[in-house]
């Protein structure tokens, strides 16, 4: 895993992350997010794949 940027505190429902990953056939993906309240984007590097996941609030 490689991350570039400032430290963030963000949470996602694990089911919303693992379900899209099961549909992929490749070993590496891009997982992008802007900040703690913005949606995350899962992109396939080779496949034409895009999935948007919303973060959960953390108190």
pLDDT digits (tens, 9 = 90+) for 23-41: 888 888 999 988 888 999 9
Q: For residue 21, what are the contacts with CB-CB under 8 A and spacing of at least 6?
A: 29, 42
Residue 1 pLDDT > 80: no
Asked if 39 and 53 touch (Cβ cutoff 8 Å), the reply is yes
Q: Does residue 2 lie in a domain region?
A: no
Residue 7 lies in a domain: no
Residue 32 CB: number of other CB atoms within 10 A? 11
In a domain? residue 46? yes
Task: Please compute the mean of the pLDDT values over residues 1-26 and round it to a whole number.
Answer: 87
The tally of domains found in the chain comes to: 1
Please, what is the average pLDDT of the chain?
Answer: 89
What residues make up the domain containing 42? 14-53
Q: What is the pLDDT of residue 16?
A: 92
Better-predicted residue by pLDDT, 18 or 2: 18
Residue 36, pLDDT score? 87
30 in any annotated domain: yes
């Amino acid at each position: 895993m490689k991350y570039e940027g400032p430290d963030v505190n963000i949470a996602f429902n694990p089911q919303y992350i693992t379900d899209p990953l099961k549909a992929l056939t490749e070993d590496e993906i891009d997982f992008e997010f802007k900040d703690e309240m913005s949606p995350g984007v899962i992109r396939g590097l080779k496949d034409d794949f895009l999935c948007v996941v919303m973060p959960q609030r953390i108190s």
